Amino acid sequence: MTPSAVAELDARLARLESSYEALEEALALPSPTPATPTSDRQVPEPLYPDVEAWVAGWFSPTFARRLGTTRWCAQWWRHAEAIVRLEALWRSWETLRLDPNLGMATWLRDHLDPQRQVLMGDSGPFQACEGAEHNPPPDLPVVPSPADHWPAPEGDAE
């Protein structure tokens, strides 16, 4: 870039900064600082206080299915995978319910349908459960790695 082009850009930047400062003064807006949020939007409180209230109050009655064609465990909270998946569904539902246009359609398509298929499928976390009868799946087997398998963290002296 030529020195004259750099000087031209510097002059344009100075004019823009001056215009911005004038607009701030005219609108009486405080200059944003890293410690000052640039938005005063309030984050709404969730409709349900936690995932358990959401599952009992909304999810379970809304998406009831005949057991036998769908896997479910009344003690879903005893399945770590189910907790993770239902928590993700609840949190995304709390956000997308606020979108009056496509929020629920997006939630159903992008969140509920794929999660429900895994959660309530034949190989999901409730695979051995029968409604109110809780039968936890066995843990996945894990064999410890050899001591020299993982690289030493950077900075460790050998």
Q: What is the pTM of this model?
A: 0.65
Per-residue confidence band for 158, with pLDDT thresholds at 50, 70 and 90: low
Question: Would you say residue 113 has pLDDT above 70?
Answer: yes
Q: How far apart, in whole angstroms, are the C-alpha atoms of residue 46 and residue 50?
A: 8
Q: Percentage of residues in the chain with pLDDT exceeding 90?
A: 50
Q: What is the DSSP string of 22-50?
A: HHHHHHTPPPP-TTS-S--PPPPPPSSSS
Best CA proximity match to 128, nearest among 81, 72, 69, 55: 72
Find the range with the poorest average confidence among 27-31, 53-57, 77-81.
27-31
pLDDT band at 96 (very low <50, low <70, confident <90, very high): very high
